[in-house]
Structure 1
Amino acid sequence: MVARAYTVAFEGIRARQVEVQCAISPGLPAFSLVGLPDKAVTEARDRVRAALSSMAIALPSKRITVNLSPADLPKEGSHFDLPIALALLAALEIIPADAVEGTCSLGELSLDGTLIPVIGALPAAMAAAEDERTLLCPRASGAEAAWVGAAQVIGAASLADVVRHYTGQSPLVPAEPGEVTTDATGRDLLDVKGQERAKRALEIAAAGRHHLMMVGTPGSGKSMLAARLPGILPPLTAAEALETSMIHSLAGLLDEGGINRTRPFREPHHTASMAAIVGGGRRAGPGEISLAHNGVLFMDEFPEFARTVLETLRQPVETGEVMVARANAHVKYPCRFMLVAAANPCKCGYLPDPARACSRAPQCGEDYMGRISGPLMDRFDLRVEVPPVTFTDLDLPASGDSSATVATRVAEARALQARRFADAERTRLNADAEGEILEQVATPDAEGRALINRVAERFGLSARGYHRVLRVARTIADLDHCENVRRPHVAEAVSYRLAVGKET
């Protein structure tokens, strides 16, 4: 008799079904595990044996073979413990085989039979729903998986609870979804003295999800401005929260099963490796750009990042997805994020400050900003200089709008875009518009078209730069509740485009 249980193997955020087959046949006592398992899966034999022994279940003196099908799919992780144990228990006729076949399971076993939470419960629940199976997982992972309402999720504390559930002695109740949480940053734009132009650029970037570059001397407030960006962004929609949480589930970042509606804000250090930023490692896991999906990736000291790391951002910024290619895996992750970069104007940081004249000006600034290639700089929709703030400015009363006021305007602009692109398949915000859709929604009036044509000819705008100016102008018009893009909107968009660096 061959007993079968079902689980999943992860390829990016996709969970592929894996059939766990268990056969007990005459022969010398052995416990073989085949089907391209990694070290963690191979060690499941000892964990399963010890867990069954703690329940006074002894394995027969026969040959036990467990096959993980399909055999050519790499199997990684400790979540295979529970399905292997279920297939074995079904082969021993301790639990009903048909009940096990109707379940997709995952979980790590401790030596005493306790179920330990594992990563990936949310994508596993999605796969179970597609296959019309019940998901069985550790109790600590149940609240996370239960967010997929299309699948029934059962959480168990131990293997003994699972046996009692399948034998009808003590059925387990379905898990309930965890709480929806929203992080309160407590950081307000009113804390930033001056920098009204930078605040305006921040608002435009948040409204249309445009990429933003800030250049200024040390202490001018670049990081302070970026830290207040989450306070003006609208919360994640239900679909976005589920999509983002699937990535965070694979990274083990979900806390106690709660789905967070706050948009991600990731700020890696400039010493981060390419695998940490883009994704990779032994399991080709998600990197910072994928963990920032539907949120913000803030890269402070932008030119200090390794050149190879910066250049790898060009394709993900443009397409909204990244392919992590390794010798044994090609995994695709979504990464539709807003890139916010901050940089000093030169190595010493005081190139434009006459009081601290840079001894190597202007070569120092050219060399430093030259670390950012032209094609990468071309992908920033907004470029703004952040001038230094004098100590006398710090004594002035707070000016401008609060984060709550700006957040209201941003939410209204995004609501306009949601209605505008409701029928578009891949376009959600103005930053996503391209081709025919961009021409329909962002074509300026006659004066605006004349202005952008003059700018394109005078400064040599690339085709990408031309389209990005139109997208920003469309967002500015949305903030003004204006149906058509007009000359003032184009003029403001162009001013941000040419503010920093040389156009390519």
Structure 2
Amino acid sequence: MFCKVLSAAIGGVEGYPVRVEADVSEGMPGFLMVGYLASEVREAADRVRTALRNTGYPLPTKRITVNLAPASIRKEGSRFDLAVAAAVLGAMEKIPAGNLDGLMIVGELSLSGQVLGVSGVLALVEKAKKLGLRRCIVPAVNAREGAVFRDMEVVGVSKLKELIEILQHPEQAGKTVVDVDALFSEQAAESEGQEDFAQIYGQTEVKRAAEIAAAGMHNFLMIGPPGSGKTMIARRIPGILPRLSLEESLEITKIYSIAGLLPERGSLLLKRPFRSPHHTTTAEALAGGGRIPGPGEVSLSSKGILFLDELPEFRRAALEILRQPLEEKRICISRTAGIYTFPADFMLVAAMNPCACGYYPDRNRCCCAQRDVIRYLGKLSQPLLDRIDICANVSPVGFDALQQTGKEESTAEIRTRVEQAHEIQKERYLGLKARFNAQLGAGDTEKYCGLGKKEKELLGDAFDALNLSARAYHRIVRVARTIADLEGKEQIEERHILEALGYRPPDRNLWMKGI
């Protein structure tokens, strides 16, 4: 008898349907699996046969053929085990074949019949929803992850026997329920009192630069000696960004689910990512790699912060790979099996010392020769520096600043202003691809960041005096637009231009000469 059921696989960050077909017929006894399968999928035959026997459903001495369609796409992973078992049981007439209609089944089987968790369940349930299916059966450990879609019925099973009972009596299936609103409320309460800007004394100018960067989602570079607070400031930037919306949370959770990084029995990730890879990280780890690529650091930091500490210590190839995602907010990886696109909508925050020892140009403490300073700074290319909107010099904190008793601004106070600036941009760019000032192209910059006569004259003088490029010109205008948004001003004023000019990244050639 023939039977089929729907399962799914992962390609990039999206699920795609895989039809599992089983046929039990007379002939030479055997269990044959076909459909362009990887070795771990072929091994499902032995796992399913043993799990069914240990559950009390031994296979008949007949020829069993299982096909995973479409045959033109290579199938990898162990998430098809449960669907193969269901299709075989349907072909054996142990369950009504009609009960498999409108279902998607994913999960891995152990030899004892236990159902093991798999990665990417959120993406698979999302695909089932788009296909118009009514129910998904997934491992119990993944049930909360898939149940965040309110109009999908997600049923978790921990044993093969439970699956059989559900397929025999569908009306008895228990739906997993997740209160998404309650999760967001609890998270808002938990986030208060964590790493706070109020814990950082002094550094008023750097904190101001960090606020502007967060308000416009501008890439941000801090340069200063060791111990001046660069990492402390970077780790607090996610706290001043607006809290995640449900749509953003789903996108982040889907990426982490595919990467297998969700906490056990997790549902939604409710904090903005903060990824801080070590400087020995390879280009493949940043971009995403493997024969079938998975998400890299640029994707895992999407909707959050990618923090690169000790920026010049990263390999040149790893840094240069950031240029495309910084511009396009996505990264495309080509393999023989196809082209995989991953989101990379992150805000780059970087920190670096001015030289290898960290104290240049203080010659009382710096022990680096001039050629060593040039070699150290030369690790950063000008195209990469051109993609950084705001640069701040971080000075050492003095003893008096550490002893001050005055109250510093808290993360909550700064976040309020940042949220207001985000709302202004959301309304201004409604219907556009750009959502923040930092994402504006040259044409949109001219349209939405108009300058008055005095402002144009000021920027024209700066353009000639500082030998600015066209890219630098637009970058300064976008930063000025963000400063005006923080003040609630509709027009960019001269003081906004002057402040934005103060945040311009260094010119690499002059920088390396010590000018």
Bucket of the pairwise TM-score, normalised by the shorter protein: over 0.9
Of residues 486, 491, 496 in structure 1, which corresponds to 2:498?
Answer: 491
CA shift, 1:283, in A, is 3.1
Number of aligned residue pairs: 502
The one-letter code matched in structure 1 to 2:355 is: C
Name the aligned partner's letter for residue 147 of structure 1. V
Runs of 5+ unmatched residues, structure 1 = none
The code of the aligned residue for 1:339 comes to: L
- The CA deviation at 1:7 is 1.1
Contact 1:20 1:83 (C-alpha < 8 Å) held by counterparts:
yes
**Alignment-derived partner of residue 165 in structure 2:** 164
Aligned counterparts, 1:64-213, within 5 A = 64-133=64-133, 134-168=135-169, 171-177=172-178, 179-180=183-184, 182=187, 184=191, 186-213=194-221
Is the aligned partner of 1:321 residue 2:318? no
Deviation at 1:399, TM superposition (A): 5.3
Q: Which amino acid aligns with 1:228?
A: R
SS of corresponding position for 1:355: coil
TM-score by length of 1: 0.95
Letter in 1 for 2:49: R
Please tell me whether the aligned partners of residues 108 and 116 of structure 2 are also in contact (alpha carbons under 8 angstroms).
yes
- 1:462 pairs with 2:462: no
What SS does the aligned partner of 1:464 have? Answer: helix
Please name the residue that 2:41 is paired with. Answer: 41
CA deviations over 1:262-283 (Å, ceiling 9, x no partner): 1111111111122211101243
Cα distance, 1:329 vs structure 2? 3.9
How far did residue 169 of structure 1 move?
7.8
Specify the alignment match of 1:13 in structure 2: 13
Which residue is equivalent to 1:369? 377
Which letter does structure 2 place at the counterpart of 1:95?
I
C-alpha contact (below 8 Å) 1:107/1:115 kept by paired residues: yes
Q: 1:219 aligns with which of 227, 247, 261?
A: 227
Alignment equivalent of 1:450, drawn from 457, 468, 472? 457
Rounded to whole Å, the distance in 2 between the matches of 1:460 and 1:27 is 82
> What's the CA shift for 1:435?
4.3
SS in 1 for 2:80: helix
Superposed displacement of residue 55, structure 1:
1.7
User: Within 2, Cα distance between the matches of 1:400 and 1:392?
Assistant: 14
Please point out which of 272, 275, 288 is paired with 2:281. Answer: 272
Measured in 2, the distance between the counterparts of 1:78 and 1:379 equals 41
Mapped partners of 2:116, 2:456: distance in 1? 61
- Asked if 1:330 is matched to 2:339, the reply is yes
Does 2:422 correspond to 1:414?
A: yes
Query: Residue by residue, what CA displacement relative to the aligned partner does 1:272-314 show, whole Å, maximum 9, x if unpaired?
Result: 1222111012431100110101100001011111110000000
**1:383 equivalenced with 2:384 (yes/no):** no
Q: Does 2:342 align with 1:341?
A: no
Structural RMSD (CA)? 1.9
Aligned residue for 2:478? 471
Q: Partner of 2:410 in structure 1?
A: 402
Residues 379 and 465 of structure 1 are in contact (CA less than 8 Å); yes or no, is this contact kept in structure 2?
A: no
1:294 aligns with 2:303: yes
Range with bigger deviation, 199-208 or 146-155: 146-155
The more displaced of 258-267 and 163-172 is: 163-172
Letter in 1 for 2:175: P
Question: Which 10-residue stretch deviates more, 211-220 or 398-407?
Answer: 398-407
- Residue pair 2:357, 2:366 contacting (<8 A) in 1 also: no
Instruction: Work out the CA distance in 2 between the residues paired with 1:175 and 1:225.
Output: 40
TM-score, with normalisation over the residues of structure 2?
Answer: 0.93
Q: Deviations over 1:210-257 (max 9, x none)?
A: 100111111111111111112211111111111111111111222223
Question: Does the residue aligned with 2:503 lie in a helix, a strand or coil?
Answer: helix
Aligned residue type for 1:99: N
> Are the aligned partners of 1:444 and 1:487 in contact in 2 as well (CA < 8 Å)?
no
How far residue 161 of structure 1 moved from its aligned partner, in angstroms, is 1.1
1:489 Cα deviation (Å)?
A: 1.0
Shift of 1:418: 1.5
Distance 2:510 2:477 in 1: 16
Consecutive unaligned residues in structure 2, runs of 5 or more: none
Q: Distance in 2 between matches of 1:19 and 1:460?
A: 61
Aligned to 1:437, which of 436, 444, 466?
444
Identity, in percent, stands at: 40
